[in-house]
Amino acid sequence: MAKCAICSKTQSYGNKISIARSHVSRRATRTFKPNLRTVTIDVNGESKKMCVCSKCLRSLKNA
C-alpha cells in the first residue's frame, strides 16, 4: 500500500453520497489516496528514493 515515508500518511475511507438523487441513504464507500511523489533525498550522505506526500514536500519536512 502507498505510504508517505515522512508522516506515514496512508489511504483513508469515506462515503460517496449521490447529490443528484433525493435519497440520502444511497451511499457507496470510496477511498482517499495520498498525493505521493517519488523524490531523491540525501540521507547521511547517501541518495535514496522515497515516496513523500505533497504536503511534506511543500512544508520541507525532509530538509
- 7-56 pLDDT, tens digit each: 999 999 998 877 766 666 677 889 999 999 999 988 899 999 999 999 99
Q: Could you give the CA distance from residue 36 to residue 1 in angstroms, rounded to a whole number?
A: 12
* Average pLDDT rounded to a whole number, residues 3-10: 93
Q: Is residue 7 part of a domain?
A: no
Total domains, the chain: 1
Domain that holds residue 44: 12-58
Task: Judge whether 24 lies within some domain.
Answer: yes
What's the pLDDT at 25? Answer: 66
Could you tell me if residue 36 is inside a domain? Answer: yes
Dig out the grid coordinates for 48 from the structure: 535514496
Residues with Cβ within 8 Å of residue 53, at least 6 apart in sequence: 4, 6, 7, 9, 34, 35, 36, 37
pLDDT above 60: residue 58: yes
d(CA 27, CA 48): 42
pTM above 0.75, yes or no: no
Q: How far, in Å, CA of 9 to CA of 33, rounded?
A: 9
